[in-house]
């Protein structure tokens, strides 16, 4: 073994073996723990390894095993607070199981996705938790047959039927809009997420279901689309305004959109919730610090991450083959209230009860 001044060299399994007077195989067995070893040699070898400050070389282990202790999580935008919380959940769950998390920020760029996947393949990484790929189906298939196992989080993988862990998006949308209806809102707008993200349709479906259940006619002019960002929400709200602005409430497809809409609404002179009620989706950390604090549908990002990691450590046979749904809940805060007089007055039942 090289001296520490030589840098990165460390005690190897051979150093331990020689020092302990056994073979390297025995040391390996002791370390792996699951092979039969005499208690006395186990104790001795462990002590020697400890004394030498031995640390297994993960790279050598990977090469020999053709496995890796890393799990990758691939997502479109780490600056989206929902995703960064998700990452936190993945990371803490992975850590508990001795796995290291590799975060891949793709910017929804297929070229980046490909580079990452190639890199993961080259590094023997097997499991990829993925939040929406933009890569084409064929490429994904190719990576799968090359040995990658995908677990979809939040968004399904292109056409493919991988396991998917996601929140009850439709139910959440319904919850949000039912809340608004209960408050007596009738003209409810929806800022939907991008069409190419399936959960956008689910949340929108929840919106439609709630309206229909209350016999409220659906007005397409009240639905606009936006990307998941404050920027997008701001623009979408302007568009809604441009179309006439005849609504007393908005259900936004996520909190960022809601925050952008909130900022724009206030700039256009409306007070929230007096003139306009607003509901978001996700319950990101910042949602309780907007002015007013945002009423929103809570998704448990940490739980989603944990559940996904749980899946990869579940023997393949016991693994569910289709979607795992996570419950959502409504968090009431200050951004929703009764509609302004003009359109509210007619009903007094139900309000504030949900």
Partner DNA sequence: TTGAAAGCGCTAACAA
Partner DNA sequence: TTGTTAGCGCTTTCAA
Q: What residues from 56 to 95 belong to the interface with DNA (CB under 7 A)?
A: 56-57, 60-61, 63-66
Which DSSP category does 324 fall into?
A: E
Can residue 259 be called a binding residue for a copy of itself (CB under 8 A)?
A: yes
Report the C-alpha gap between 309 and 100 in whole angstroms: 11
Q: Which residues contact 275 (CB under 8 A, 6 or more apart)?
A: 248, 265, 340
Q: Binding partner of residue 91 among a copy of itself, DNA, none, CB under 5 to 8 Å per kind?
A: a copy of itself
58, 268, 314, 350: which one binds a copy of itself (CB under 8 A): 58
Residue position matching structure tokens 């993945």: 90
Q: Which is nearer to DNA, 61 or 319 (CB)?
A: 61
Q: What is the DSSP string of 181-236?
A: HHTT--SEEEEE--TTSHHHHHHHHHHHHHHHHTTPPP-GGGEEE--SSHHHHHHH
Q: Which is nearer to a copy of itself, 119 or 320 (CB)?
A: 119
Q: How many residues bind a copy of itself (CB under 8 A)?
A: 59
Q: Are 247 and 234 in contact (CB under 8 A)?
A: no
Q: Binding partner of residue 342 among a copy of itself, DNA, none, CB under 5 to 8 Å per kind?
A: none
17, 37, 102, 152: which one binds a copy of itself (CB under 8 A): 102
Residue position matching structure tokens 């890199």: 119
Can residue 286 be called a binding residue for a copy of itself (CB under 8 A)?
A: yes
Q: Which is nearer to DNA, 14 or 352 (CB)?
A: 14
The least distance separating DNA from the CB of residue 118, rounded to whole angstroms, comes to 13
Q: Binding partner of residue 290 among a copy of itself, DNA, none, CB under 5 to 8 Å per kind?
A: a copy of itself
Look up residue 46 and give its two tokens: 């462990």
Q: Strands, E, within the chain: which ranges?
A: 70-75, 100-105, 127-130, 149-153, 164-167, 188-192, 223-225, 249-252, 277-282, 295-298, 323-326, 329-331
Can residue 37 be called a binding residue for DNA (CB under 7 A)?
A: yes
> How many C-beta atoms surround the C-beta of residue 124 within 10 A?
16
Count Cα atoms within 13 angstroms, Cβ side, for 251. Answer: 30
81, 193, 280, 337: which one binds a copy of itself (CB under 8 A): 81
3-class state of residue 295 by DSSP = strand
Interface mask toward a copy of itself for 109-128; x: CB under 8 A: ---x--xx-xx-xxxx-x--
Q: Which is nearer to a copy of itself, 38 or 59 (CB)?
A: 59
Q: Which is nearer to DNA, 32 or 332 (CB)?
A: 32
Q: What is the DSSP string of 60-96?
A: HHHHHHT--SEEEEEES-TTSHHHHHHHHHHHHHHHH
Q: Which is nearer to a copy of itself, 27 or 177 (CB)?
A: 27
Q: Which is nearer to a copy of itself, 147 or 244 (CB)?
A: 147
Look up residue 34 and give its two tokens: 């699951």
Residues in the site for DNA, rule: CB under 7 A?
9, 12-14, 21-26, 28-29, 31-32, 35-38, 40-42, 54-57, 60-61, 63-66
Residues in the site for a copy of itself, rule: CB under 8 A?
4-5, 7-10, 55-60, 62-63, 66, 68-69, 78-79, 81, 84-85, 87-88, 91, 95, 100-103, 105, 112, 115-116, 118-119, 121-124, 126, 145-147, 230, 234, 259-260, 262-263, 266-267, 285-286, 288-291, 293
């Amino acid at each position: 073994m090289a001296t520490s001044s030589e840098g990165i060299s460390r005690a190897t399994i051979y150093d331990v073996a020689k020092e302990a007077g056994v073979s390297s195989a025995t040391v390996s067995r002791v370390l792996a723990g699951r092979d039969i070893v005499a208690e006395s040699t186990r104790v001795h070898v462990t002590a020697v390894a400890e004394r030498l400050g031995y640390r297994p070389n993960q790279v050598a282990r990977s090469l020999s095993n053709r496995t890796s202790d890393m799990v990758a999580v691939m997502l479109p935008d780490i600056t989206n607070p929902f995703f960064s919380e998700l990452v936190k959940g993945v990371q803490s769950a992975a850590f508990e199981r001795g796995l290291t998390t590799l975060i891949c920020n793709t910017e929804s760029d297929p070229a980046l996705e490909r580079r990452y996947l190639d890199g993961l393949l080259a590094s023997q990484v097997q499991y990829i938790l993925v939040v929406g790929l933009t890569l084409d189906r064929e490429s994904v298939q190719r990576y799968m047959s090359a040995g990658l196992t995908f677990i979809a989080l939040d968004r399904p993988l292109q056409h493919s039927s991988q396991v998917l862990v996601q929140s009850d998006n439709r139910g959440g949308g319904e919850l949000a809009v039912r809340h608004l209806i209960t408050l007596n809102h009738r003209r409810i707008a929806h800022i939907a997420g991008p069409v190419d993200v399936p959960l956008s349709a689910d949340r929108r479906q929840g919106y439609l279901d709630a309206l229909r259940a209350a016999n409220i006619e659906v007005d397409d002019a009240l639905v606009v689309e936006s990307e998941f960002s404050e920027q997008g929400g701001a623009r979408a709200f302007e568009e809604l305004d441009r179309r006439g602005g005849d609504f007393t409430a908005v259900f936004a497809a996520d909190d960022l959109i809601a925050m952008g809409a909130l900022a724009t609404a206030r700039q256009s002179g409306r007070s929230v919730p007096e003139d306009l009620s607003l509901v978001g989706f996700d319950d990101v950390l910042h949602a309780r610090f907007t002015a007013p604090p945002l009423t929103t549908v809570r998704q448990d990002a940490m739980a989603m991450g944990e559940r996904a990691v749980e899946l990869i450590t579940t023997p393949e046979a016991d693994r569910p083959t289709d979607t795992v749904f996570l419950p959502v809940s409504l968090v009431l805060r200050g951004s929703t209230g009764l509609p302004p007089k003009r359109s509210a007055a007619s009903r007094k039942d139900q309000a504030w009860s949900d």
